[in-house]
């Protein structure tokens, strides 16, 4: 008539698998954020050089690129924040004994430094 809930061992195994997958996603998202940080540094350097040379067409192009990369980076940080909210890093550490790395505040701090 009604479906019975899954045994607690299945639920625990599913939770463990979810936490492991969240860890994998966090690592990959952080890697992508760092790649974009490097791209932003390069674009800012190029922008400064073009501004010094008064190359207005290049300046506008680089500014557009900066906006696009900044938005892409913000999306990645938002995805990390959603993962952290759904699968708290503190809970992951205590349940699995794994150090999951930077928090959202750490990433936002690097955003202010890099973008």
**pLDDT, the chain, mean:** 82
Region 56-70 average pLDDT: 98
> What's the pLDDT score for residue 88?
77
CB 69 within 8 A of CB 43: yes
Would the pLDDT of 56 be above 70?
Answer: yes
- List the structure tokens of 110: 């690097």
Whether this model's pTM surpasses 0.85: no
Higher-pLDDT residue of 100, 19:
19
Find where tokens 């557009």 sit: 64
CA 113/CA 9 separation, integer angstroms: 45
Q: Convert the pLDDT of each residue in 67-111 to its tens digit.
A: 999 999 999 999 999 999 998 756 555 554 444 445 445 555 554
Find where tokens 């913000």 sit: 74
- List the structure tokens of 91: 């809970």
């Amino acid at each position: 008539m009604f479906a019975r809930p899954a045994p607690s061992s299945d639920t625990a195994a599913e939770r463990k698998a979810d936490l492991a997958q969240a860890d994998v996603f966090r690592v990959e998202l952080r890697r992508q954020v760092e790649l974009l940080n490097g791209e932003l540094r390069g674009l800012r350097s190029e922008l400064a050089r073009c501004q010094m040379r008064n190359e207005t067409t290049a300046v506008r192009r680089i500014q557009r690129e900066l906006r696009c990369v900044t938005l892409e980076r913000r999306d990645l940080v938002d995805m990390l924040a959603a993962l952290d909210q759904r699968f708290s890093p503190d809970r992951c550490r205590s349940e699995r004994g794994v150090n999951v790395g930077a928090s959202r505040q750490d990433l936002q701090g690097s955003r202010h430094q890099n973008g």
